[in-house]
Amino acid sequence: LSKDKDKSAASKDSTPEGPAKRQEDRAETRKQQLLDIIGNMKVEVSYRKKLQQLKASENKKQAMDKLEGPDSEGSVPQGITEDTQRGKPLNPELVKAASAVASSLPRNKKQTESELLAQLRRHEETTDKQKKGGTINIRNVISEMTVKRQSPAQWGARISGRISLQLDEDGQRIRPERSSAQSMDSRSLKVGKRLNIFTKASTEPEHALKTVSSPTIWDLEFAKEVAAVTAQPPRNGFEEMIQWTKEGILWEYPIDNEVGMEDDAEFHEHIFLEKHLEGFPKEGPIRHFMELVICGLSKNPYLSVKQKVEHIEWFQKYFEEKKELLQEI
């Protein structure tokens, strides 16, 4: 009997503990499942973080390139990189010829190459400017224009001035009375200064005018400054066309087809420029470089003969300054 009582007591004690343990196990399994699901989820990186990662990778690549050094096999010439950074790249043959000229000199090879390429770059910029004609971009002109707007008070005063009605006590419009013939001013045709339309004008003027000296350059500049300060936006299309003609945006009328043509400059002077290479060596990399320069100038219709000759003379002076080095070659 005592054994049965002990078993029944033990069974009674064990019955409430069993479901509690099961609930705890279930809760732990659910927590574990949630943690597994969260761990398996893919976290999308934001756009800013992606950009930061890309910048960091680019900075690492640049640092590695700097560590490799400028004389490595995969390095690009300095002139080509400068040209690509500035914009339109130069002719690769010209770049090679400039590097050959710089390598032929015993000193300051990089400086010589950069100076030659800089001069070529300036020449390209002047060509682009003259190719566009030096005119102002229409978008810039429109953006700089200011629209003169009237305030509501001015607009109301303007309308009230146009529509000025005389109203009586009842609010009806009073018609203006016709002016009588007596109220009109009587004017005589014989009074006043003669216009000398039908009669010959006298040679002697009634009032002798004083001689006035012509305005100086300073007076004209001062007048331009005053006009620029007091200038107002054009009121209509005609004033706008006049302003654009003064600024050089529109053609002047009557149109002259020979505007901009040079005086005493014939066609062959633009093309045959070999005569300007007399001061250069007849062989070598410098001669090859200048022949390429002349070939490009002869195909350029946007430069004048004077500008082409000045461009050639710049290289001549540059190489004359380094004449001592050229004699050593």
| Tens digits of pLDDT across the chain (329 residues) | 555 555 555 554 455 556 666 777 777 788 788 788 776 665 554 556 666 777 787 777 777 766 555 444 334 444 444 444 455 677 788 888 888 887 777 667 788 888 888 888 887 888 777 776 555 556 665 666 666 666 667 776 666 655 555 555 555 555 555 555 455 556 676 777 777 777 665 666 555 556 677 788 888 888 888 888 887 888 899 999 998 888 878 878 777 777 666 556 788 888 898 888 888 888 888 889 989 999 999 988 888 888 899 999 988 888 888 776 656 65
Encoded amino acid at 257, one letter: N
DSSP code of residue 250: S
pTM over 0.85: no
> Which residue has tokens 């009328």?
253
Rounded to whole angstroms, how far apart are CA atoms 3 and 210?
A: 151
User: In 3D, which of 256, 277, 266 has the Cα closest to residue 305?
Assistant: 266
Rounded to whole angstroms, how far apart are CA atoms 34 and 132?
A: 68
Rounded to whole angstroms, how far apart are CA atoms 225 and 231?
A: 10
**Can you give the pLDDT at residue 83?**
44
**Can you give the pLDDT at residue 160?**
62
Crossing angle of helices 92-104 and 109-131, rounded to 10°? 150
**Can you give the pLDDT at residue 74?**
39
- Residue 82 tokens read as 């400068």
DSSP code of residue 235: S
Q: What is the CA radius of gyration of the chain?
A: 45
User: In 3D, which of 101, 94, 62 has the Cα closest to residue 80?
Assistant: 94
**Can you give the pLDDT at residue 73?**
39
Helix (H) or strand (E) holding 14: helix 2-40
Rounded to whole angstroms, how far apart are CA atoms 5 and 125?
A: 111
CA angle 11-12-18, nearest 5°? 75
Q: How far is CA 97 from CA 46, 77, 200, in A?
A: 49, 13, 79
